[in-house]
Structure 1
Amino acid sequence: MKLLFKQRLFSWFDSYDIYDEAGNTVYVVKGQLSWGHKLVIYDAYGNEVGMVVQKVLTFLPKFEIYKNGSYIGCLSKEFSFLTPHYNIDYNGWHIDGTIMEWDYSILDQSGYLIARVNKELFHMTDTYVIDVQNPGNALDALMFVLAIDAEKCSRN
Structure 2
Amino acid sequence: MRLLIKQRVFSWADSYDIYDEQGNVRYFVKAELIALGHQLHVYDCNRNEIGMIKQKLLTFMPAFEVEVGGRTVGRIRKQFTMFRPKYEIDFNGWRVEGDFFGWDYDVYSGNSQIIHISKEFFHWGDTYVIDIANPADELMGMMLVIAIDAANCSGRD
TM bucket by the smaller chain? over 0.9
Q: Is residue 13–residue 33 contact of structure 2 (8 Å, CA) maintained in 1?
A: yes
Distance in 2, matches of 1:128 and 1:48, equals 22
Question: Greater strand share, 1 or 2?
Answer: 2
Distance in 2, matches of 1:60 and 1:32, equals 20
Question: Percent same amino acid at aligned positions?
Answer: 50
Distance in 1, matches of 2:72 and 2:39, equals 14
Alignment of 1:37-76 (within 5 A): 37-76=38-77
- The number of aligned residues is 155
Distance in 2, matches of 1:62 and 1:132, equals 24
Work out whether 1:137 is the aligned partner of 2:103: no
Distance in 1, matches of 2:78 and 2:112, equals 20
Alignment of 1:64-103 (within 5 A): 64-103=65-104
1:7-56 Cα distance to aligned partner (Å, 9 max, x none): 01111111100000000000010001212011000001111111100001
Which stretch has the larger CA shift, 113-122 or 78-87? 78-87
Letter in 2 for 1:43: D
Q: In the alignment, which residue of structure 2 is the partner of 1:116?
A: 116
Q: In the alignment, which residue of structure 1 is the partner of 2:4?
A: 4
Q: In the alignment, which residue of structure 2 is the partner of 1:18?
A: 18
Q: What is the TM-score when the length of structure 1 is the normalising length?
A: 0.96
Which stretch has the larger CA shift, 14-23 or 61-70? 61-70
Query: What is the RMSD of the two structures over their aligned residues, measured on CA atoms?
Result: 0.9
The alignment partner of 2:143 has SS state of: helix
CA shift at 1:155, angstroms?
Answer: 2.1
Q: Is residue 87–residue 93 contact of structure 1 (8 Å, CA) maintained in 2?
A: no
CA shift at 1:147, angstroms?
Answer: 0.8
Alignment of 1:24-43 (within 5 A): 24-35=24-35, 36-43=37-44
The alignment partner of 1:147 has SS state of: helix
Structure 1 unaligned segments of length 5 or more: list them.
none
Distance in 2, matches of 1:76 and 1:154, equals 11
Q: Is residue 8–residue 17 contact of structure 1 (8 Å, CA) maintained in 2?
A: yes
Distance in 1, matches of 2:125 and 2:131, equals 19
